[in-house]
Amino acid sequence: MNEHGRMTQPADTTMTLQPSSPDRRLLLQTAGALCGSALLAACARQPGGASPATQTAGSLDVLLDGWTEELLTEAPHEATALGLDVGSRAALRGRWPDRSVDAAPRQSRRYTAALNRLAGVPRAALNTQAAATLEAARFTLTRAQEGAAFAYGDQGVMATLAQECTPYVINQMIGLALSGPQFLATQHPLRTADDVASWLERLGKLPAQIDNETERFRRDAALGVVAPRFILATLASQLDGLVTAAPERSPLLDALAPVAAARERAAALDLLQRQLLPAVQRQRDAVRAAMPTASEEAGVRRLPDGERYYAWSLQVGTTTGLSAEQVHRMGLAQAAEIAARMEPLLRGQGLTQGGIGERLRALGERAEHRFANTDAGRQQAIAYCNEWVARLRAAMPRWSGLALRAPLTVKRVPAETEAGAPGAYMAPGALDGSRDAAFYLNLRDTAVWPRWTLPTLVVHETLPGHVWQEAHEAEIAQRHPVRSLLKFNGYSEGWGLYAEHLVDEAGFYADDPLARLGYLQAQQLRATRLVVDTGLHAFGWSRERAMKTLADATGRSAAAVQNEIDRYCVKPGQACGYKIGQAELLRLRQGWLARHAAPDAMAAFNDAVLRAGNLPLPVLQWVLNS
């Protein structure tokens, strides 16, 4: 801490990324020791303050049944995305989350009540899987209850589980003005007349919730909580694009057209013109009005109770008790190791002068590695990703003994949202199999993705990464349904990065040094995230310093680096879960392989992680060791 009580940059952590490579095993051991937080101790003891009444595992299921309904009511669009808005929940299909100013206090009271109910469940009466579910529920509710203490932003349970906690209720990545229309166009089912009716109902209710978010935006701004000016500029541009687009050519109407009658299409166009677009315009005007007084300071420590907010964000993002300084140092050490591994590969490409980032950038700018920045070039990039999906699918038996179908499609991020969207992401399929998982690639500028960078990206998002991970939940998992909703960033993104490691370890890039450079560049990006995220939010780094640090370490294009840094600005701590989660999975695997000598022990470990399910990392360790 400095004299003002703020955290200062550790004295010996100059961001050169070039010191001698540390021992990898030491890094993993250190990460494991740090992940052994108080939560792991909680898994080994019965909760204090438990009710004297003896309760059975069946009574836990009853409590979780009630909580599941609360969660789905809080996030009805999530019920639709998972295919759970059927039967008694059919009314959810026409609703949105309550985004009003009064919603957060009501949610906080529900979290407290749910925690009190769970406190009466003795762990001794539960099997390992049920006990893990109990601890996962407690972790989620406790973090959300803590987040509710901040009088701004969005720290609710569903924001926590969707990895979208943010101090800024609307920004370039989060907000119903951007995500609502895309959800209706891509995820709301449109197969029956009832589907069309609920779709129109949802479209009609969307403007009111956008106005609610605008009201919360103004309320937070009055508290001194508004996103940095550069974030607001991007958001205003995105909202401008929605307002000025021709309504009759909206992707919303394109999605509705094949299944709706003429009167229904006319009703949708009327709702779009008379209600939705005016609400979006009101939000754009509010954003523009806030811009002149917005700060250029990127980090959250300028916000009310900002340091505590970031410490909380790190706990949510990593599911550990790591401090900002510990995360920062871990990132520096891992980045140095990865840079050393890239050096001989870059020399092999004739790139011997300049820093790592400079040479990676030069490699990415070579015309032979780029897809044309045209519609035809974008189609070629999608086709190349599909080739890798097919290759990885054929190799899955070496990494897993699970007979999963894991259907998926590769898509371009919709043009109307790509300006503020991440470089790539995966949308899980419906649990009932009615909609495949989708891997979205942001191709606004194809220069962001030279050909040699795409293989490891496909691995991370599809197979054996997120799509395989989610397919287990949809096709095999036999757990309480609430576990389909409980997602933890350290596990989720740790698995994606661990999958990248598996493919490299299997020799997929042995004859393709360019693809291996792409893998190492991606690993370097995640290691450097630990440095720049903490730099921004704990140590007072500027946006420019963070962008330069990331560019120097990875050689990513200016557009890609800016999108990355702006993402960290509005979702503090989330980007730290990747490397911390991967390090913990590798450490846990090391212990597993020491205990299991069978030829298929590695695949068995992978499957055991998936069978344990998405959990806070210390709870996962407890399950694997049980």
Chunked into runs of 10 residues, the chain (626 residues) has average pLDDT values of: 39 34 40 43 40 58 94 94 93 97 93 93 90 96 95 93 94 96 94 96 98 98 97 97 94 94 97 98 98 97 97 98 98 98 98 97 96 97 98 98 96 85 89 91 94 98 97 92 94 98 97 98 98 98 98 93 96 98 98 95 98 98 96
pTM above 0.85, yes or no: yes
For residue 44, the SS3 value is: coil
d(CA 272, CA 252): 9
- Cα separations (Å) of 532 from 225, 489, 537, 576? 22, 18, 8, 10
Q: What is the pLDDT of residue 212?
A: 98
Could you write out the DSSP letters of every residue in 153-196?
A: SB-SHHHHHTT--BSSSS-SS--HHHHHHHHHHHTS--SSHHHH
Q: Comparing C-alpha atoms, which of 43, 47, 46, 85 is closest to residue 68?
A: 85
Closest to 584 in 3D by CA, of 489, 470, 505: 489
| Whole-number Å distance between alpha carbons of 495 and 136 | 17
The candidate with the shortest Cα–Cα distance to 589, out of 611, 608, 612, 576, is: 608
All structural domains of the chain with their residue ranges: 186-224+229-294
Q: How much is the pLDDT for 124? A: 83
* Cα(290)–Cα(235) distance, integer angstroms: 12
HSE-up (13 A, CA, CB side) for residue 442:
16
Are 334 and 19 within 8 A, CB to CB? Answer: no
- Between helix 513-538 and helix 558-570 the angle, nearest 10°, is 40
**Tokens (6 digits) for 28:** 């993993």
